[in-house]
Structure 1
Amino acid sequence: MRQMIQPWRHIFKLDPDRELGEEELAAICLSGTDAILVGGSTGVTYDNTIDLLSRIQQYELPCALEVSDMEAIVPGFDVYMIPMVLNTPDPAWMTGHHRKAIERFGSLIPWELLLAEGYIVLNGDSAVARLTAAECSISADAAGAYAQIADKLMQLPVVYVEYSGRFGDMDTLRTVRESVEYSRLFYGGGIIGREEAEQAAALCDTVVVGNIIYRDIEQALLTVDAVKKTPQIHLD
Protein backbone atom coordinates (compact mmCIF):
# COMPACT_ATOMS: atom_id res chain seq x y z
CA MET A 1 0.00 0.00 0.00
CA ARG A 2 2.89 2.35 0.64
CA GLN A 3 3.93 1.88 -2.95
CA MET A 4 0.43 2.66 -4.22
CA ILE A 5 0.35 6.13 -2.67
CA GLN A 6 3.90 7.10 -3.64
CA PRO A 7 2.88 8.63 -7.00
CA TRP A 8 -0.06 10.52 -5.49
CA ARG A 9 0.80 14.20 -5.79
CA HIS A 10 -2.77 15.54 -6.02
CA ILE A 11 -5.95 14.11 -4.48
CA PHE A 12 -9.55 15.27 -4.62
CA LYS A 13 -11.47 14.54 -1.42
CA LEU A 14 -15.20 13.94 -1.83
CA ASP A 15 -17.69 14.02 1.02
CA PRO A 16 -20.50 11.44 0.80
CA ASP A 17 -22.75 13.83 2.74
CA ARG A 18 -22.52 16.59 0.11
CA GLU A 19 -24.21 16.71 -3.28
CA LEU A 20 -22.16 16.53 -6.47
CA GLY A 21 -23.77 16.25 -9.91
CA GLU A 22 -22.72 13.72 -12.53
CA GLU A 23 -21.13 16.36 -14.77
CA GLU A 24 -19.07 17.71 -11.87
CA LEU A 25 -18.05 14.22 -10.77
CA ALA A 26 -16.91 13.39 -14.29
CA ALA A 27 -14.84 16.57 -14.43
CA ILE A 28 -13.19 15.71 -11.11
CA CYS A 29 -12.43 12.10 -12.03
CA LEU A 30 -11.11 12.97 -15.51
CA SER A 31 -9.09 15.97 -14.33
CA GLY A 32 -5.76 14.20 -14.06
CA THR A 33 -5.87 13.92 -10.28
CA ASP A 34 -3.98 10.93 -8.93
CA ALA A 35 -6.70 9.54 -6.67
CA ILE A 36 -10.07 10.16 -5.03
CA LEU A 37 -10.32 10.14 -1.23
CA VAL A 38 -13.81 9.61 0.15
CA GLY A 39 -14.54 10.83 3.66
CA GLY A 40 -15.96 13.47 5.97
CA SER A 41 -16.21 14.37 9.63
CA THR A 42 -20.01 14.24 9.96
CA GLY A 43 -23.01 12.77 8.14
CA VAL A 44 -21.09 9.89 6.58
CA THR A 45 -23.21 6.71 6.34
CA TYR A 46 -22.95 3.32 4.72
CA ASP A 47 -25.61 4.24 2.17
CA ASN A 48 -24.17 7.55 1.01
CA THR A 49 -20.66 6.10 0.97
CA ILE A 50 -21.55 3.09 -1.17
CA ASP A 51 -23.54 5.33 -3.49
CA LEU A 52 -20.58 7.64 -4.03
CA LEU A 53 -18.19 4.71 -4.50
CA SER A 54 -20.42 3.17 -7.19
CA ARG A 55 -20.40 6.48 -9.08
CA ILE A 56 -16.63 6.90 -8.83
CA GLN A 57 -16.00 3.34 -10.02
CA GLN A 58 -17.14 4.34 -13.51
CA TYR A 59 -13.74 5.96 -13.84
CA GLU A 60 -10.33 4.32 -13.80
CA LEU A 61 -8.45 5.88 -10.92
CA PRO A 62 -7.57 4.78 -7.37
CA CYS A 63 -10.24 5.38 -4.75
CA ALA A 64 -9.53 5.43 -1.02
CA LEU A 65 -11.89 5.53 1.95
CA GLU A 66 -10.88 7.56 4.97
CA VAL A 67 -12.57 5.64 7.77
CA SER A 68 -14.26 7.98 10.26
CA ASP A 69 -17.27 5.87 11.28
CA MET A 70 -17.46 2.11 11.68
CA GLU A 71 -21.02 2.14 10.33
CA ALA A 72 -19.79 3.62 7.04
CA ILE A 73 -17.12 1.05 6.18
CA VAL A 74 -17.86 -0.11 2.64
CA PRO A 75 -16.05 -2.93 0.78
CA GLY A 76 -14.63 -2.26 -2.67
CA PHE A 77 -12.17 0.58 -2.06
CA ASP A 78 -8.56 0.24 -3.20
CA VAL A 79 -7.17 1.60 0.08
CA TYR A 80 -8.57 2.27 3.55
CA MET A 81 -6.95 5.26 5.28
CA ILE A 82 -7.11 5.04 9.08
CA PRO A 83 -6.75 8.41 10.87
CA MET A 84 -4.98 8.66 14.20
CA VAL A 85 -5.21 12.20 15.62
CA LEU A 86 -1.89 12.95 17.25
CA ASN A 87 -2.66 16.28 18.94
CA THR A 88 -5.70 15.31 20.99
CA PRO A 89 -5.82 14.41 24.69
CA ASP A 90 -8.67 12.00 23.94
CA PRO A 91 -7.23 8.49 23.46
CA ALA A 92 -10.38 7.42 21.61
CA TRP A 93 -9.02 9.17 18.51
CA MET A 94 -5.61 7.53 18.79
CA THR A 95 -6.46 3.91 19.57
CA GLY A 96 -9.88 3.74 21.23
CA HIS A 97 -12.12 3.64 18.17
CA HIS A 98 -9.53 1.47 16.43
CA ARG A 99 -9.68 -1.13 19.23
CA LYS A 100 -13.47 -1.25 19.05
CA ALA A 101 -13.32 -1.76 15.27
CA ILE A 102 -10.87 -4.64 15.64
CA GLU A 103 -12.98 -6.26 18.35
CA ARG A 104 -16.07 -5.96 16.17
CA PHE A 105 -14.70 -6.97 12.78
CA GLY A 106 -11.72 -9.15 13.74
CA SER A 107 -10.62 -11.43 10.92
CA LEU A 108 -12.79 -9.57 8.41
CA ILE A 109 -10.35 -6.65 8.35
CA PRO A 110 -8.31 -6.54 5.10
CA TRP A 111 -5.05 -5.50 6.77
CA GLU A 112 -3.18 -5.49 3.48
CA LEU A 113 -5.40 -2.63 2.26
CA LEU A 114 -5.03 -0.42 5.36
CA LEU A 115 -2.77 2.62 5.75
CA ALA A 116 -2.54 4.61 8.98
CA GLU A 117 -2.42 8.41 8.90
CA GLY A 118 -0.93 10.49 11.69
CA TYR A 119 -3.18 13.56 11.72
CA ILE A 120 -2.06 16.93 13.06
CA VAL A 121 -5.28 19.00 13.19
CA LEU A 122 -4.56 22.74 13.30
CA ASN A 123 -7.82 24.61 12.66
CA GLY A 124 -9.71 24.86 15.92
CA ASP A 125 -12.89 26.01 14.15
CA SER A 126 -13.11 22.89 11.97
CA ALA A 127 -15.60 20.07 12.47
CA VAL A 128 -12.79 17.54 12.87
CA ALA A 129 -11.14 19.63 15.60
CA ARG A 130 -14.39 19.92 17.54
CA LEU A 131 -15.15 16.23 17.09
CA THR A 132 -11.75 15.06 18.29
CA ALA A 133 -11.03 17.86 20.81
CA ALA A 134 -7.73 18.47 19.05
CA GLU A 135 -5.34 20.94 20.67
CA CYS A 136 -4.88 23.26 17.70
CA SER A 137 -3.12 26.24 19.30
CA ILE A 138 0.28 24.63 19.23
CA SER A 139 3.60 26.00 18.00
CA ALA A 140 5.30 25.03 14.77
CA ASP A 141 7.92 23.18 16.83
CA ALA A 142 5.19 21.20 18.60
CA ALA A 143 3.64 20.29 15.25
CA GLY A 144 7.07 19.17 14.09
CA ALA A 145 7.47 17.06 17.21
CA TYR A 146 4.15 15.34 16.57
CA ALA A 147 5.30 14.70 13.01
CA GLN A 148 8.47 13.03 14.31
CA ILE A 149 6.40 10.83 16.62
CA ALA A 150 4.42 9.62 13.61
CA ASP A 151 7.43 9.37 11.31
CA LYS A 152 10.16 7.98 13.52
CA LEU A 153 8.50 6.38 16.56
CA MET A 154 5.29 5.05 15.04
CA GLN A 155 6.65 4.71 11.48
CA LEU A 156 3.29 5.64 9.97
CA PRO A 157 3.01 5.71 6.16
CA VAL A 158 1.34 9.16 6.19
CA VAL A 159 1.66 12.35 8.22
CA TYR A 160 -1.36 14.55 7.46
CA VAL A 161 -1.34 18.27 8.30
CA GLU A 162 -5.03 19.24 8.37
CA TYR A 163 -6.32 22.81 8.44
CA SER A 164 -9.77 21.77 7.16
CA GLY A 165 -11.63 24.89 6.05
CA ARG A 166 -8.86 27.48 6.00
CA PHE A 167 -5.45 27.84 4.45
CA GLY A 168 -2.72 26.90 6.84
CA ASP A 169 0.45 28.51 8.09
CA MET A 170 3.18 27.64 5.60
CA ASP A 171 5.94 28.23 8.16
CA THR A 172 4.39 25.50 10.30
CA LEU A 173 4.11 23.24 7.27
CA ARG A 174 7.78 23.91 6.50
CA THR A 175 8.71 22.89 10.06
CA VAL A 176 6.74 19.67 9.67
CA ARG A 177 8.41 19.06 6.30
CA GLU A 178 11.82 19.38 7.97
CA SER A 179 10.72 16.86 10.63
CA VAL A 180 9.48 14.11 8.31
CA GLU A 181 11.98 11.68 6.87
CA TYR A 182 10.13 8.47 6.00
CA SER A 183 6.38 9.16 6.02
CA ARG A 184 4.59 10.72 3.08
CA LEU A 185 3.47 14.24 3.98
CA PHE A 186 -0.14 15.13 3.12
CA TYR A 187 -1.59 18.64 3.39
CA GLY A 188 -5.28 19.59 3.38
CA GLY A 189 -7.16 22.79 4.09
CA GLY A 190 -8.12 26.03 2.35
CA ILE A 191 -6.89 25.17 -1.14
CA ILE A 192 -9.14 27.46 -3.21
CA GLY A 193 -7.09 27.91 -6.37
CA ARG A 194 -3.68 27.79 -8.01
CA GLU A 195 -1.85 30.03 -5.54
CA GLU A 196 -2.63 27.99 -2.44
CA ALA A 197 -2.09 24.74 -4.32
CA GLU A 198 1.38 25.82 -5.43
CA GLN A 199 2.42 26.96 -1.94
CA ALA A 200 1.34 23.67 -0.35
CA ALA A 201 2.78 21.54 -3.16
CA ALA A 202 6.21 23.10 -2.72
CA LEU A 203 6.38 21.82 0.86
CA CYS A 204 4.50 18.52 0.92
CA ASP A 205 4.30 15.29 -1.04
CA THR A 206 0.54 15.21 -1.55
CA VAL A 207 -2.03 18.03 -1.70
CA VAL A 208 -5.63 17.17 -0.80
CA VAL A 209 -8.32 19.43 -2.30
CA GLY A 210 -11.86 19.21 -0.95
CA ASN A 211 -14.22 22.04 -0.01
CA ILE A 212 -13.61 24.20 -3.08
CA ILE A 213 -15.08 21.42 -5.24
CA TYR A 214 -18.52 22.27 -3.89
CA ARG A 215 -18.15 26.06 -4.17
CA ASP A 216 -16.20 26.65 -7.39
CA ILE A 217 -15.38 23.55 -9.39
CA GLU A 218 -13.46 25.48 -12.04
CA GLN A 219 -11.02 26.71 -9.41
CA ALA A 220 -10.82 23.20 -7.99
CA LEU A 221 -9.84 21.79 -11.38
CA LEU A 222 -7.04 24.35 -11.74
CA THR A 223 -5.34 22.91 -8.68
CA VAL A 224 -4.42 19.68 -10.48
CA ASP A 225 -2.09 21.35 -12.96
CA ALA A 226 -0.80 23.73 -10.29
CA VAL A 227 0.26 20.88 -8.01
CA LYS A 228 1.69 18.70 -10.77
CA LYS A 229 3.88 21.53 -12.11
CA THR A 230 5.21 22.71 -8.74
CA PRO A 231 8.54 21.17 -7.74
CA GLN A 232 9.04 20.31 -4.11
CA ILE A 233 11.51 22.38 -2.14
CA HIS A 234 14.35 20.20 -0.91
CA LEU A 235 15.20 21.30 2.61
CA ASP A 236 18.60 20.66 4.14
Structure 2
Amino acid sequence: MKLRWDEITHVTKADPAKDLPPDLGVLDRTDAVMVGGSDGVTAENTLDTIRAIKRRFPEKPVLQEPYSSSHVSTDTMEAADHLAVPAVYNGDREHFVGKHVDLFTEVGSKPEEVLGTGLPVLGDLIASKGLDAVSRMTNEIVGEGYVVQNPASTAADVTGADEPYTGEEVAGAALATEAFYGFPVFYLEYSGTYGGPDDVEAAATHLDDTVLLYGGGIDGERRTREILDAGADAVVVGDCFHDDPARFLETIPS
Protein backbone atom coordinates (compact mmCIF):
# COMPACT_ATOMS: atom_id res chain seq x y z
CA MET A 1 0.00 0.00 0.00
CA LYS A 2 1.50 3.32 -1.11
CA LEU A 3 1.67 5.91 1.63
CA ARG A 4 -0.13 9.15 0.84
CA TRP A 5 1.57 11.49 3.28
CA ASP A 6 -0.48 14.42 2.03
CA GLU A 7 -3.53 12.68 3.52
CA ILE A 8 -1.97 11.93 6.92
CA THR A 9 -2.15 14.25 9.94
CA HIS A 10 -2.49 11.69 12.76
CA VAL A 11 -0.34 8.58 13.25
CA THR A 12 -0.83 6.06 16.05
CA LYS A 13 2.26 4.46 17.59
CA ALA A 14 1.44 0.92 18.76
CA ASP A 15 3.98 -0.68 21.11
CA PRO A 16 4.04 -4.47 20.66
CA ALA A 17 5.16 -4.92 24.27
CA LYS A 18 1.94 -3.30 25.55
CA ASP A 19 -1.64 -4.55 25.49
CA LEU A 20 -3.83 -3.23 22.72
CA PRO A 21 -7.08 -1.48 23.71
CA PRO A 22 -10.01 -3.90 24.05
CA ASP A 23 -11.76 -2.18 21.15
CA LEU A 24 -9.50 -1.44 18.17
CA GLY A 25 -12.32 0.64 16.75
CA VAL A 26 -10.56 3.63 18.35
CA LEU A 27 -8.20 3.48 15.34
CA ASP A 28 -10.97 4.26 12.90
CA ARG A 29 -10.09 7.96 12.49
CA THR A 30 -6.31 7.75 12.74
CA ASP A 31 -4.63 7.94 9.33
CA ALA A 32 -1.82 5.41 9.78
CA VAL A 33 -0.32 3.13 12.42
CA MET A 34 3.37 2.74 13.25
CA VAL A 35 4.28 -0.44 15.14
CA GLY A 36 7.45 -0.49 17.21
CA GLY A 37 9.07 0.08 20.57
CA SER A 38 12.42 -0.10 22.30
CA ASP A 39 11.78 -2.35 25.32
CA GLY A 40 10.33 -5.86 25.45
CA VAL A 41 9.71 -5.99 21.70
CA THR A 42 10.15 -9.17 19.67
CA ALA A 43 9.39 -10.19 16.11
CA GLU A 44 6.60 -12.36 17.49
CA ASN A 45 4.71 -9.69 19.43
CA THR A 46 5.32 -7.23 16.60
CA LEU A 47 3.67 -9.63 14.17
CA ASP A 48 0.74 -10.18 16.52
CA THR A 49 0.19 -6.43 16.76
CA ILE A 50 0.39 -5.81 13.03
CA ARG A 51 -1.96 -8.68 12.24
CA ALA A 52 -4.52 -7.60 14.84
CA ILE A 53 -4.63 -4.10 13.36
CA LYS A 54 -4.76 -5.34 9.78
CA ARG A 55 -7.59 -7.72 10.55
CA ARG A 56 -9.70 -4.83 11.80
CA PHE A 57 -8.50 -2.24 9.27
CA PRO A 58 -7.06 -3.98 6.20
CA GLU A 59 -6.85 -0.74 4.19
CA LYS A 60 -5.15 1.39 6.86
CA PRO A 61 -1.41 1.92 6.27
CA VAL A 62 0.73 0.10 8.84
CA LEU A 63 4.46 0.71 9.16
CA GLN A 64 6.85 -1.34 11.25
CA GLU A 65 9.50 0.79 12.97
CA PRO A 66 12.07 -1.61 14.45
CA TYR A 67 14.82 -0.65 16.87
CA SER A 68 16.66 -3.89 16.12
CA SER A 69 16.89 -6.32 13.22
CA SER A 70 15.71 -8.99 15.67
CA HIS A 71 12.29 -7.32 15.61
CA VAL A 72 11.95 -8.01 11.88
CA SER A 73 11.12 -11.27 10.15
CA THR A 74 9.75 -12.45 6.84
CA ASP A 75 6.30 -12.52 8.44
CA THR A 76 6.47 -8.94 9.77
CA MET A 77 7.66 -7.75 6.36
CA GLU A 78 4.74 -9.50 4.70
CA ALA A 79 2.21 -8.18 7.23
CA ALA A 80 3.29 -4.51 7.32
CA ASP A 81 3.00 -2.13 4.39
CA HIS A 82 6.35 -0.41 4.98
CA LEU A 83 9.49 -0.68 7.11
CA ALA A 84 10.37 2.66 8.74
CA VAL A 85 14.10 2.77 9.54
CA PRO A 86 15.29 5.54 11.90
CA ALA A 87 18.68 7.20 11.53
CA VAL A 88 19.14 8.94 14.90
CA TYR A 89 21.17 12.11 14.35
CA ASN A 90 21.96 12.72 18.01
CA GLY A 91 22.49 9.04 18.85
CA ASP A 92 25.60 6.91 18.66
CA ARG A 93 27.21 5.80 15.40
CA GLU A 94 25.52 2.41 15.55
CA HIS A 95 22.07 3.95 15.42
CA PHE A 96 22.83 6.55 12.78
CA VAL A 97 24.92 4.69 10.26
CA GLY A 98 26.39 1.48 11.67
CA LYS A 99 23.38 -0.81 11.41
CA HIS A 100 22.36 0.59 8.04
CA VAL A 101 25.78 0.14 6.46
CA ASP A 102 26.06 -3.37 7.86
CA LEU A 103 22.67 -4.31 6.46
CA PHE A 104 23.28 -3.04 2.95
CA THR A 105 26.84 -4.35 2.92
CA GLU A 106 25.43 -7.83 3.37
CA VAL A 107 22.81 -7.27 0.69
CA GLY A 108 25.17 -5.77 -1.85
CA SER A 109 28.26 -7.90 -1.49
CA LYS A 110 27.30 -11.41 -0.43
CA PRO A 111 23.54 -11.95 -0.29
CA GLU A 112 23.92 -15.72 -0.60
CA GLU A 113 25.82 -15.76 2.72
CA VAL A 114 23.40 -13.67 4.75
CA LEU A 115 21.91 -16.62 6.60
CA GLY A 116 23.11 -16.64 10.19
CA THR A 117 24.34 -13.04 10.25
CA GLY A 118 21.70 -11.86 12.71
CA LEU A 119 19.73 -10.05 10.02
CA PRO A 120 16.61 -12.21 9.84
CA VAL A 121 14.78 -9.91 7.47
CA LEU A 122 17.43 -10.54 4.84
CA GLY A 123 18.24 -14.15 5.54
CA ASP A 124 14.65 -15.33 5.63
CA LEU A 125 13.58 -13.33 2.60
CA ILE A 126 16.48 -14.44 0.46
CA ALA A 127 16.16 -18.05 1.51
CA SER A 128 12.44 -18.18 0.76
CA LYS A 129 12.00 -15.81 -2.17
CA GLY A 130 15.35 -15.10 -3.76
CA LEU A 131 17.08 -11.82 -4.57
CA ASP A 132 13.91 -10.21 -5.94
CA ALA A 133 12.84 -9.94 -2.30
CA VAL A 134 15.79 -7.63 -1.60
CA SER A 135 14.59 -5.23 -4.26
CA ARG A 136 11.08 -5.36 -2.84
CA MET A 137 12.37 -4.75 0.68
CA THR A 138 14.37 -1.73 -0.49
CA ASN A 139 11.30 -0.24 -2.15
CA GLU A 140 9.29 -0.65 1.05
CA ILE A 141 11.82 1.06 3.34
CA VAL A 142 10.94 4.52 4.64
CA GLY A 143 14.08 6.26 5.88
CA GLU A 144 13.59 8.59 8.84
CA GLY A 145 15.92 11.35 9.91
CA TYR A 146 15.33 11.11 13.66
CA VAL A 147 16.04 13.37 16.62
CA VAL A 148 15.42 12.10 20.17
CA GLN A 149 14.71 15.11 22.41
CA ASN A 150 14.04 13.40 25.77
CA PRO A 151 17.36 12.17 27.22
CA ALA A 152 15.51 10.40 30.07
CA SER A 153 13.57 8.16 27.70
CA THR A 154 14.17 4.52 26.87
CA ALA A 155 14.60 5.54 23.24
CA ALA A 156 17.47 7.85 24.21
CA ASP A 157 19.07 5.14 26.33
CA VAL A 158 18.84 2.57 23.54
CA THR A 159 20.17 4.88 20.82
CA GLY A 160 22.77 6.75 22.87
CA ALA A 161 21.00 10.10 22.42
CA ASP A 162 22.36 11.66 25.60
CA GLU A 163 21.90 15.30 24.62
CA PRO A 164 18.84 16.92 23.04
CA TYR A 165 19.45 19.22 20.10
CA THR A 166 19.15 22.97 20.34
CA GLY A 167 16.64 24.67 18.07
CA GLU A 168 19.46 25.58 15.69
CA GLU A 169 20.62 21.96 15.57
CA VAL A 170 17.07 20.74 14.96
CA ALA A 171 16.87 23.14 12.02
CA GLY A 172 20.21 21.88 10.74
CA ALA A 173 19.12 18.26 11.05
CA ALA A 174 15.93 19.01 9.14
CA LEU A 175 17.88 20.74 6.39
CA ALA A 176 20.32 17.82 6.16
CA THR A 177 17.41 15.36 6.01
CA GLU A 178 15.91 16.96 2.92
CA ALA A 179 18.85 18.56 1.13
CA PHE A 180 21.61 16.01 1.78
CA TYR A 181 20.31 12.64 2.93
CA GLY A 182 17.04 12.70 1.00
CA PHE A 183 15.04 10.85 3.67
CA PRO A 184 11.28 11.15 3.09
CA VAL A 185 10.58 11.67 6.82
CA PHE A 186 12.02 13.88 9.56
CA TYR A 187 10.85 12.77 13.02
CA LEU A 188 11.04 14.86 16.20
CA GLU A 189 10.59 12.43 19.12
CA TYR A 190 9.97 13.64 22.67
CA SER A 191 9.03 10.21 24.07
CA GLY A 192 6.17 10.97 26.44
CA THR A 193 7.02 14.61 27.16
CA TYR A 194 5.60 17.61 25.35
CA GLY A 195 8.21 19.62 23.52
CA GLY A 196 5.95 22.37 22.23
CA PRO A 197 5.98 24.12 18.87
CA ASP A 198 9.41 25.82 18.87
CA ASP A 199 11.47 22.94 17.46
CA VAL A 200 8.68 22.12 15.02
CA GLU A 201 8.79 25.65 13.67
CA ALA A 202 12.60 25.50 13.43
CA ALA A 203 12.45 22.25 11.45
CA ALA A 204 9.51 23.19 9.23
CA THR A 205 11.39 26.23 7.91
CA HIS A 206 13.73 23.91 5.99
CA LEU A 207 11.32 21.23 4.80
CA ASP A 208 9.40 21.37 1.55
CA ASP A 209 9.19 17.78 0.32
CA THR A 210 10.16 15.89 3.48
CA VAL A 211 7.35 14.94 5.87
CA LEU A 212 7.68 16.33 9.41
CA LEU A 213 6.42 14.03 12.17
CA TYR A 214 6.20 15.07 15.82
CA GLY A 215 5.75 12.61 18.70
CA GLY A 216 5.55 13.22 22.45
CA GLY A 217 3.04 14.38 25.02
CA ILE A 218 0.06 14.74 22.67
CA ASP A 219 -2.91 14.29 25.01
CA GLY A 220 -5.71 16.23 23.34
CA GLU A 221 -6.76 18.15 20.26
CA ARG A 222 -5.34 21.43 21.58
CA ARG A 223 -1.78 20.12 21.49
CA THR A 224 -2.40 18.33 18.22
CA ARG A 225 -3.55 21.58 16.66
CA GLU A 226 -0.67 23.55 18.16
CA ILE A 227 1.89 21.18 16.65
CA LEU A 228 0.17 21.04 13.25
CA ASP A 229 -0.16 24.82 13.17
CA ALA A 230 3.57 25.09 13.92
CA GLY A 231 4.34 23.23 10.69
CA ALA A 232 4.25 19.50 11.43
CA ASP A 233 2.59 17.34 8.79
CA ALA A 234 1.38 14.84 11.38
CA VAL A 235 1.45 14.07 15.10
CA VAL A 236 2.38 10.62 16.39
CA VAL A 237 0.39 9.48 19.44
CA GLY A 238 1.35 6.41 21.44
CA ASP A 239 1.06 6.35 25.23
CA CYS A 240 -2.60 7.28 25.57
CA PHE A 241 -3.55 4.85 22.79
CA HIS A 242 -2.59 2.05 25.17
CA ASP A 243 -3.35 3.71 28.51
CA ASP A 244 -6.44 5.86 27.91
CA PRO A 245 -8.31 5.17 24.64
CA ALA A 246 -10.94 7.82 25.42
CA ARG A 247 -8.26 10.50 25.71
CA PHE A 248 -6.55 9.09 22.62
CA LEU A 249 -9.67 9.84 20.60
CA GLU A 250 -9.42 13.46 21.71
CA THR A 251 -5.99 13.77 20.04
CA ILE A 252 -7.42 13.16 16.56
CA PRO A 253 -8.01 16.47 14.75
CA SER A 254 -11.62 17.10 13.74
Structure 1 residues 172-183: aligned runs within 5 Å: 172-183=199-210
Structure-2 change in CA distance of 1:45 and 1:196 (3 Å): same
**Structure 2: distance between partners of 1:3 and 1:38:** 15
| Selected match of 1:53 from 50, 54, 59 | 50
How many corresponding residue pairs?
222
Equivalent position SS for 1:95? helix
1:36 maps to 2:36: no
Kindly indicate whether the alpha-carbon contact (under 8 Å) linking 2:21 and 2:245 is maintained by their aligned counterparts in 1: no
Kindly indicate whether the alpha-carbon contact (under 8 Å) linking 1:87 and 1:146 is maintained by their aligned counterparts in 2: no
CA deviation profile, 1:175-196 (whole Å, cap 9, x unmatched): 1111222211000001111221
Structure 2-normalised TM-score?
A: 0.82
Q: CA deviation at 1:2?
A: 7.5
1:207 maps to 2:245: no
Equivalent position SS for 1:119? strand
Structure 1 residues 153-232: aligned runs within 5 Å: 153-202=180-229, 203-224=231-252, 226=253, 229=254
Give the number of the structure whose alpha-carbon radius of gyration is greater: 2
RMSD of aligned alpha carbons: 1.8
1:19 maps to 2:16: no
| Selected match of 1:150 from 177, 199, 203 | 177
Q: CA deviation at 1:155?
A: 1.2
**Structure 2: distance between partners of 1:200 and 1:112:** 30
Which amino acid is 2:214 matched to? Y
Structure-2 change in CA distance of 1:49 and 1:158 (3 Å): same
**Structure 2: distance between partners of 1:186 and 1:210:** 13
| Identity among equivalent pairs (%) | 30
Q: 2:118 aligns to what? A: none
